[in-house]
Amino acid sequence: MNNCLMIMSVRNEEFFKRSIDRLDISKVWFRGYREYELNTHVNQFIQETNFDNYYIVSDDVVITPKVFNILQEALTRHEIVTGWALRRQNLVESTILRQPKHWIHCQGSHLPTFVKYNNYIPVHEVDSLPDEFEVSFTGWFYTGMRRHIWLEYPYHTIAANQGQGYNHYLASTDAQWANRVAVEKKYKQMCIKAARVAHMSIADNNSTYYKWNFYKKEIIKEFI
């Protein structure tokens, strides 16, 4: 299959570049864009290219070639596959959510957001799950799917602009997308248990390690 990896990149971390360079797949880097700014670019890229499948990931997630090949094989059998990780290194929850739908409530005057933090599978319970299972959230942890599904359920965000204060974090494209697919039940989002990836992130508001660069925006295509 002729697949492409779409990378949302604002951190420019060497360890991430190294992990990506080891993957035998065409890539496109969306550098310097906020999540909501990619609404146009991601969908336009998919419309203008003709790969069989497109993966999406952000640049704080590291995968090994061995694990990536597991996803590649699974994608020959399923229309949507995803890896999984810890939500953050210092949290107990994984990114695996199996409840049938997300709940939505309104926050502030106009922005709807998801109540999505209650039922994630704790990481120590993941071993008891089947090798492959349906989820209602993928988190963009190397989430790959057919081109026609991307066209039917395009990338889009909650926020139409940067918003104010905390609201600029509420793009939640992963939750938006996964919720639509889960509710309509037309396609199954399949999580592959062996496809655990490393989420290089902690929940700590005081950490200043990552330097996000939103100033130089560019789209770099590395096709094989």
Partner 1 sequence: MSYSFKIDYRDGLCIHVHDQSTQPIEKFIVRVFIHKQQINKKLDYAYNSADSKAIIETFINSEEFDIPWVENIIPNHNHIRWFYKGFVPYIIEIRHPETNEVIFTEKFDLRNRLINFTLVSEDPKELHTWMCVIDNFRKEWGCDISIINTHLHQTQEYDWVTAYFPNNAPWDQFYAGYTIGRFGTKEAPDYFMNPDGVEGKNSLEIIDDILNFFWTKL
Interacting residues toward partner 1 by CB under 8 A: 14-15, 18-19, 60, 62, 86, 89-90, 94, 123-124, 126, 196, 198, 200-202, 204, 207-210
10 Å CB burial of residue 143 (0-12, 13-18, 19+) is buried
Nearer to partner 1, 49 or 64 (CB): 64
Amino acid (1-letter code) at residue 57: V
Cα separation, 182 vs 137, in Å, equals 8
Nearest approach in angstroms of CB 9 to partner 1 is 16
Nearer to partner 1, 18 or 101 (CB): 18
How far is residue 112 CA from its own chain's centroid? 20
The single-letter DSSP state of residue 117 is S
Nearest approach in angstroms of CB 95 to partner 1 is 11
Nearest approach in angstroms of CB 166 to partner 1 is 17
Angle at 79 between CA 77 and CA 81, to 5 degrees: 85
Nearer to partner 1, 209 or 223 (CB): 209
Nearer to partner 1, 52 or 93 (CB): 93
